[in-house]
Homo-oligomer: A and B are copies of this chain.
Amino acid sequence: MDRQGDPNEQGFLGSHDHTHCKAEVALRVIQGRWKLLILRELIQAVRRFSDLHKALPGVSQKVLTAQLRELEADGVLSRTIHPEVPPRVDYALTDLGRELLPVLDGLHAWGERIGSPRTADRTITAPVAGSRPTA
């Protein structure tokens, strides 16, 4: 019974390419100090630049702009410019961005299982080790 399709081809596990896999691509997209926070804001509603700036204490305009542009370039969110005299720009999740949410949720769920990193047990599981090949 030869299954020439894909026995255990589940994506990440099945990609035995020695180079970068698609998971890295996805990772790069959400990579950034404020990307996750931005996405989380846009889940709730369409936001203006000033809304995001206020909702994300500590971010500078430069970085916020940069990360928004990257997310836009990656198709995660859309940028709508209202050509009014006081400029107004709306940011909203795209369909692709919405498809990312379940993944982020999985990430969040796993993150909860961590709790406090670098404070775990440290069980070395040391074997008896009696072999000494080269004396």
What is A's interface to B at a CB cutoff of 8 Å? Answer: 10-13, 15-16, 18, 20-27, 29-31, 36-37, 40, 43-44, 55-57, 73-75, 78-86, 96, 99-114, 117-118, 120, 123-127, 129, 131-135
Contact = CB atoms under 8 A, between A and B. Distances in A.
Contact of A12 (B84, B86, B105): B105
Contacts of A129: 82-84
Contacts of A16: 40, 44
25 contacts: A11-B108, A12-B105, A13-B40, A13-B43, A15-B40, A21-B36, A21-B40, A21-B111, A22-B108, A22-B111, A23-B108, A26-B110, A27-B107, A29-B117, A75-B117, A78-B125, A80-B124, A83-B126, A83-B129, A84-B129, A86-B134, A100-B110, A102-B106, A103-B109, A103-B110
B134 A23 contact: no
Contacts of A110: 26, 99-100, 103
A114 B29 contact: yes
> Which of A102, A106, A120, A129 counts the most B-chain CB atoms under 10 A from its CB?
A106
